[in-house]
Amino acid sequence: MKDDQTHLSADDWDELHFPRPEGNEFDRVVERAISRRGFLGGALAFGSGAAVMGTAFLKGTSAIAQQATRFAFTPIEAQTDDTIHVPEGYSWDVLVRWGDPLFSDAPAFDATNAVPAAGSDRVFGENTDGMELFSINGREILVVNSEYTNNAINLPHTAKGVPESAEDVLTLQNMQGVSVMEVAEGDDGWSVVVDSPFNRRITHNTPMLIDGPAAGHALLQTEADPTGTQSLGTFNNCGSGRTPWGTYLTCEENFNGYFGATAEVAADEIVMEHYQRYGVSTKVDPGRYNYHGFDARFDVSKTPNEPHRAGYIVEIDPSNPESTPVKRTALGRFKHENAASAVAPDGRVIVYLGDDERGEFMYKWVSRDIYVPGGDTSTLLSEGQLFAAKFNDDMTGEWLPLTPEATGMSAAEIAIFTRTAASNVGATTMDRPEWIAVNPVAIEAYCCLTNNSRRGATNDDGSLRTNAGGDEMSVNAPNPRETNNYGQIVRWRPENDDHAASGFQWDLYVMAGNPTVADGPYAGSENINAGNLFNSPDGMVIDSTGLIWIQTDGDDSNEGEFAGMGNNQMLAGDPVTGEIHRFLTGPNGSEVTGLCWSSDRRTMFVGIQHPGSSWPDGEGIPRSSVITVKRDDGAMVG
Ligand code: FEO
Ligand code: CA
Ligand code: CA
Ligand code: CA
Residue-wise pLDDT for 491-504, tens only, equals: 999 999 999 999 99
Residue 347 lies in a domain: yes
Helix (H, G, I), strand (E, B) or coil at 33: helix
The Å distance, Cα 224 to ligand 4 centre, comes to: 32
pLDDT for the residue numbered 55 = 29
Q: How far is the CA of 360 from the centre of ligand 3 (A)?
A: 14
Supply the pLDDT for residue 28.
53
Atom index in ligand 1 nearest the CA of residue 356 equals 2
Q: How far is the CA of 539 from the centre of ligand 2 (A)?
A: 6
452 strand-pairing partners: 484
Domain assignment present for 638? no
Greatest distance between any 2 Cα atoms in the chain: 75
Please report which confidence band the pLDDT of residue 70 belongs to, taking 50, 70 and 90 as the band edges.
confident
Whole-number average pLDDT of the chain: 91
Mean pLDDT is lowest, of 27-31, 343-347, 591-595, for 27-31
* pLDDT tens string 532-553: 999 999 999 999 999 999 999 9
Confidence band of 267 (pLDDT split at 50, 70, 90)? confident
CB atoms under 10 Å from CB of 424, counted, come to 18
Q: Determine, yes or no, domain membership for 200.
A: yes
Q: Residue 277 and residue 355: Cα distance in Å, rounded?
A: 13
Residue 17 in this model has a pLDDT that exceeds 70: no
Contacts of 186 by beta carbon, 8 Å cutoff, 6+ apart: none
157 within some domain: yes
Confidence class of residue 592 from pLDDT cuts 50, 70 and 90?
A: very high
Cα of 122 vs its chain's centroid, Å = 26
CB burial of 297-332 (b: ≥16 within 10 Å; e: otherwise) equals bbbbbbbbbbbbbbbbbbbbbbbeeeeebbbbbbbb
Q: Is the pLDDT of residue 29 over 60?
A: no
Does any domain span residue 39?
yes
For residue 45, count other CB atoms closer than 10 A to its CB: 10
DSSP, residue by residue, 280-291: ----BS-TTT-G
Please give the backbone phi and psi of residue 346, each rounded to the nearest 5 degrees, phi first: -90, 5
C-alpha 331/C-alpha 142 separation (Å) is 24
> How many Å lie between the centroid of ligand 4 and the Cα of residue 148?
8
Question: What one-letter code names the amino acid at 120?
Answer: S
Sheet strands (E) in 206-259: 207-211, 230-232, 237-242, 248-252
612 alpha carbon – ligand 4 mean position (Å): 13
pLDDT digits (tens, 9 = 90+) for 370-383: 999 999 999 999 99
Which atom of ligand 1 lies closest to the CA of 254?
Answer: 1
**pLDDT score of 60:** 32
CATH number of domain containing 76: 2.120.10.30
What average pLDDT score do residues 16-34 get?
A: 48
The 10s digit of each residue's pLDDT in 93-128 is 999 999 999 999 999 999 999 999 999 999 999 999
Find the 216 Cα to ligand 2 centroid distance in Å. Answer: 31
In angstroms, what is the span from residue 240 Cα to ligand 4's centroid?
A: 13
- Which residues, other chains included, contact 291 with Cβ-Cβ below 8 Å and sequence gap of 6+? 163, 169, 172, 173, 204, 258, 259, 260, 297, 298
**What ligand is nearest to the CA atom of residue 356?**
1
Please report whether residue 435 resides in a domain.
Answer: yes
Name the closest ligand to CA 554.
3
State the pLDDT confidence band at 53, using cuts at 50, 70 and 90.
Answer: very low
User: Ligand 3 (ion): which residues have CB within 5 A?
Assistant: 538, 553
pLDDT in the model for residue 61: 34
- Which ligand 1 atom lies nearest to the CA of residue 129? 1
- Measured from the Cα of 239, ligand 1's closest atom is 1
Residue 434 within a domain: yes
Give, using CA atoms, the residue closest to atom 1 of ligand 1: 238
Confidence (pLDDT) at 32: 57
Q: Count of CB atoms within 10 A of residue 187's CB? A: 4
Ligand in nearest proximity to the CA of 335: 1
How many domains would you assign to the chain? 1
Q: Distance (Å, rounded) from C-alpha 569 to C-alpha 549?
A: 10
What is the CB < 6 Å shell around ligand 1? 147, 238, 253, 337, 356, 434
Distance between CA atoms of residues 147 and 366, nearest Å: 27
Give the number of the atom of ligand 1 that is nearest the alpha carbon of residue 238: 1
Please write the tens of the pLDDT for every residue from 302-343: 999 999 999 999 999 999 999 999 999 999 999 999 999 999
Q: Is 133 helix (H, G, I), strand (E, B) or coil?
A: strand
Between the two ends of the chain, the Cα-to-Cα distance in Å is: 58
Question: Per-residue pLDDT for 62 more than 80?
Answer: no
Q: Which domain holds residue 19?
A: 5-631
Residue 636 lies in a domain: no
Residues 6+ apart with CB under 8 A from 114: 98, 99, 153, 154, 156, 171, 621
Q: What is the pLDDT of residue 561?
A: 98
Across-strand partners of 351? 341, 365
CA separation for the pair 306, 389 (Å, rounded)? 29
Phi, psi of 17 (to 5 degrees): -85, -25
What are the Cα distances from residue 569, in Å, to 264, 323, 608? 44, 36, 10
Q: Which atom of ligand 1 sits closest to the CA of residue 253?
A: 1
